Amino acid sequence: MFGSIGRKGFELKDSAETFLKEVSGIWFLTRETLYCSFIEPLKGKPNKWGPVWVQMEEVGVKSTVIVFLVAFLIGVILAFQTAYQLEQLGALEFVGALVGVAVTRELGPLMTALVMAGRVGASFTAEMGTMKVSDEILALETMALNPVKFLITPRFLAILIMLPCLTVMADLMGILGGFFIGVTTLGIDPTPYIDNSLDRMQLKDFVSGIIKSIVFAGIIVMVGSYLAFVIEGGAEKVGQNTRSSVVVSMILIIIADLFFTAIFFFFT
| Residue 43 found at the interface with other proteins (CB under 8 A) | no
| Residue 235 found at the interface with other proteins (CB under 8 A) | no
How far apart are alpha carbons 129 and 2 in whole angstroms? 43
| Residue 145 found at the interface with other proteins (CB under 8 A) | yes
- The least CB distance from residue 47 to other proteins, in Å, is 13
* Per-residue CA distances from 209 to 155, 193, 198 (Å): 22, 22, 17
| Residue 39 found at the interface with other proteins (CB under 8 A) | no
How far apart are alpha carbons 4 and 74 in whole angstroms? 49
- Closest CB to other proteins among 22 and 136? 136
Q: Which region, judged by CB under 8 A, interacts with other proteins, from 84-92, 127-135, 203-211, 225-233?
A: 127-135
CA 130-46-32 angle, 5° bins: 50
Question: Cβ atoms within 10 A of the Cβ of 36, count?
Answer: 20
| Sole binder of other proteins in the list 22, 106, 136, 195 (CB under 8 A) | 136
Amino acid at 211: I
Q: What are phi and psi of 185, to 5 degrees?
A: -100, -40
Question: Cβ atoms within 10 A of the Cβ of 40, count?
Answer: 16
| Residue 142 found at the interface with other proteins (CB under 8 A) | yes
| Residue 236 found at the interface with other proteins (CB under 8 A) | no
| Sole binder of other proteins in the list 20, 61, 69, 139 (CB under 8 A) | 139
- Closest CB to other proteins among 113 and 152? 152
| Residue 134 found at the interface with other proteins (CB under 8 A) | yes
Given CA atoms 70, 72, 75, 76 in this order, what sign does their dihedral have? negative
- Residues near other proteins (CB under 8 A) are 127, 130-131, 134-136, 138-139, 141-145
